[in-house]
Amino acid sequence: MKQHKILLITLAFFSIFIHTSCENYLDIEPKGVRLLSTVNDYELWLESDFLQTQVPFNLTYLSDTKDITNISNEPSFGTQSLYTWQKQISEDPQATPLLWAHLYKVVYYYNVVIMGVGEATGGALQQKQSIEAEALMGRAFTYLQLVNLYGKQYNEATASTDLAVPFVTSNDLDDLTPDRSTVQEIYDQIIADLTKALPHLPENNYDNRFRGSIAGAYSILARTYLFMGNYQEADRYAQLALDNGPNVVVDYANIPNAAAIPNLKKRPDAIFARYNTGRGVPEFPTLDLLKSYNTKDQRLNLFFSNIPVFPMLGGYIFPRRGVTMYWPGGITMTGTYVYPNCGTSVAEMRLIKAEAAARANNLVEACDELDEVRKYRFPSASYVKFKSDDQETVLNEVLRDRVFEFPFHGMRWFDMRRLDAENRMPTVNRYDGEGNVIATLPAGSKKYTLQIPVQVLLYNQNWSQNPWDDE
């Protein structure tokens, strides 16, 4: 009997040991990683450097401002394919689809917030709504890039049949990918999201320009309508952005070097601050771009290494490719990270307004708006205000200034697309080291709408592919 008692005690001990303590024992919060549960977690999530550097650096490879002098004759790897407007950036089914994968990861980040913040603990409803509104705004900003890479340039007549990208709202890998939406649907969604976000967004973001604000949403709306060709609305929202947020342009005319530009987090002219993924990486500009700058333009002298570094190479004559470089942080290389804003800025709003005015043939207003940017870009002694009463001249000057202002900001490709749709783009060529043409982007080319990456099509075989020039 005694033996049985001991046995029973032991068995009881077993079961207590294993069962009762089990749930508590296993329920440990992992350290070093975090499940998003509190409102503060979502705050920190929006603080991630991934989102703040979300603009794809690779966008500059598409742009006509970029030059690669040592390109191989058979462009093989991703970015070179992009630079030469290949049909696919990579045929390798295992390759990361550049641009697409990055932008959808950004979308994922915002979707995590949009889906989860409502159930988070430890914050007032207002704070949750504000965080969700910021995510909606960020997602809209991202879809604006996606629709302008993989969908045709917005054309009111065809937008509701032109296929763009899928509109993803889930954060679970187990969910199915939706089909491609039309260009119209994506634009509608962008506008709807921004409109939905506006009432809840913070009034301003002067202590951290990377975060959302009412002016930020207006500025993205202004850019959205500009890309849609709705200049009236673009002008209206640009003005709203200026009225509700910062309205100064950093004066390049009276600063000793680029290091004096305030850091982007608190830069006074940034409406919605975003870096690109490559931030400080220098680029070689085309000689055409270099030569088109006015030699007095501070945007040339602050950011392009030229005369001081290689006097023997010809100064402002720029005789050789691959010598003068664009330094995003300024040529003084002070290491203080004054990188360009690839989000929205006061200067962009001014230029949108100038363009809208020029297109509406309000040339005086257009020149005045342009002057609001240019007068801060030239030393006052050598500054001459641009004036013209020819609509085409004014419009061209405004468009040119967009290039000077945003040469490697990820803006140029989108401008090239909309200009090409208006037959304003010449043929763009790429040259190898010896000056032979190795790639061509003709006017009206289908290449202006990138193909869906094969890596994505493999998973979505019912999608149709975007057409290409040789088809």
Phi-psi region of 160 (alpha: psi -120 to 50; beta: other; left: phi over 0): alpha
Tokens 């002298």 correspond to: 301
Site string for other proteins, 261-280 (x = CB under 8 A): --xxx---------x---xx
Among 12, 64, 220, CA closest to 133? 220
Q: Which of 311, 312, 422, 464 binds other proteins (CB under 8 A)?
A: 312
Query: In whole angstroms, how close is the CB of 120 to other proteins at the nearest point?
Result: 12
Find the helix packing angle between 231-244 and 346-359, rounded to 10°: 150
Tokens 């914050």 correspond to: 123
Near other proteins in 345-404, by CB under 8 A: none
Stretch of 17-25, 182-190, 220-228, 422-430 lying at the interface with other proteins (CB under 8 A)? 17-25
What burial class does residue 82 get, using C-beta atoms within 10 Å of its C-beta: 0-12 exposed, 13-18 middle, 19+ buried? buried
Query: In whole angstroms, how close is the CB of 367 to other proteins at the nearest point?
Result: 36
Q: How far apart are CA 453 and CA 90, in angstroms?
A: 8
Query: In whole angstroms, how close is the CB of 1 to other proteins at the nearest point?
Result: 12
Query: In whole angstroms, how close is the CB of 212 to other proteins at the nearest point?
Result: 16
Query: In whole angstroms, how close is the CB of 91 to other proteins at the nearest point?
Result: 5
What are the backbone angles phi and psi of residue 279, rounded to the nearest 5°?
Answer: 25, -80
Q: How far apart are CA 448 and CA 469, in angstroms?
A: 10
Stretch of 44-52, 212-220, 292-300, 360-368 lying at the interface with other proteins (CB under 8 A)? 44-52
Residue closer to other proteins, measured from CB, 77 or 437: 77
Near other proteins in 158-177, by CB under 8 A: 165-166, 168, 170-175, 177
- 25 belongs to the binding site for other proteins (CB under 8 A): yes
> Could you say which DSSP state residue 214 is in?
H
Q: How far apart are CA 434 and CA 48, in angstroms?
A: 43
- 49 belongs to the binding site for other proteins (CB under 8 A): yes
Contacts 24+ apart (CB under 8 A), 466-471: 466/150, 466/163, 468/87, 469/442, 469/445, 470/87, 471/446
Stretch of 137-145, 186-194, 284-292, 334-342 lying at the interface with other proteins (CB under 8 A)? 334-342
Residue closer to other proteins, measured from CB, 33 or 125: 33
- 459 belongs to the binding site for other proteins (CB under 8 A): yes
- 179 belongs to the binding site for other proteins (CB under 8 A): no
- 34 belongs to the binding site for other proteins (CB under 8 A): yes
Find the helix packing angle between 346-359 and 391-405, rounded to 10°: 160
Q: Which of 56, 78, 116, 212 binds other proteins (CB under 8 A)?
A: 116
Size of the chain in residues: 471
Q: Which of 35, 124, 125, 157 binds other proteins (CB under 8 A)?
A: 35
- 145 belongs to the binding site for other proteins (CB under 8 A): no
- 462 belongs to the binding site for other proteins (CB under 8 A): no
- 454 belongs to the binding site for other proteins (CB under 8 A): yes
- 143 belongs to the binding site for other proteins (CB under 8 A): no
Query: In whole angstroms, how close is the CB of 242 to other proteins at the nearest point?
Result: 25
Among 61, 224, 242, CA closest to 139? 224
Residue closer to other proteins, measured from CB, 32 or 256: 32
The SS3 call for residue 188 is helix
Size of the site for other proteins (CB under 8 A): 83
Stretch of 187-195, 229-237, 320-328, 374-382 lying at the interface with other proteins (CB under 8 A)? 320-328
- 1 belongs to the binding site for other proteins (CB under 8 A): no
- 336 belongs to the binding site for other proteins (CB under 8 A): yes
Tokens of 420: 């090409």
Near other proteins in 74-113, by CB under 8 A: 91-94, 96-97, 100-101, 104-105, 107-109, 111-112
Site string for other proteins, 227-266 (x = CB under 8 A): ------------------------------------xxx-
Q: How far apart are CA 50 and CA 41, in angstroms?
A: 15
- 308 belongs to the binding site for other proteins (CB under 8 A): no
Query: In whole angstroms, how close is the CB of 113 to other proteins at the nearest point?
Result: 10
Among 402, 353, 370, CA closest to 225? 353
Q: Which of 8, 12, 14, 203 binds other proteins (CB under 8 A)?
A: 14
Report yes or no: 200 and 216 within 8 Å, Cβ to Cβ.
Answer: no
- 470 belongs to the binding site for other proteins (CB under 8 A): no
Q: How far apart are CA 452 and CA 454, in angstroms?
A: 6
Report yes or no: 96 and 277 within 8 Å, Cβ to Cβ.
Answer: no
Q: Which of 8, 20, 50, 291 binds other proteins (CB under 8 A)?
A: 50
Supply the DSSP string of 364-417, one letter for each residue: HHHHHHHHHHHTTTS-GGG------S-HHHHHHHHHHHHHHHSTTSS-HHHHHH
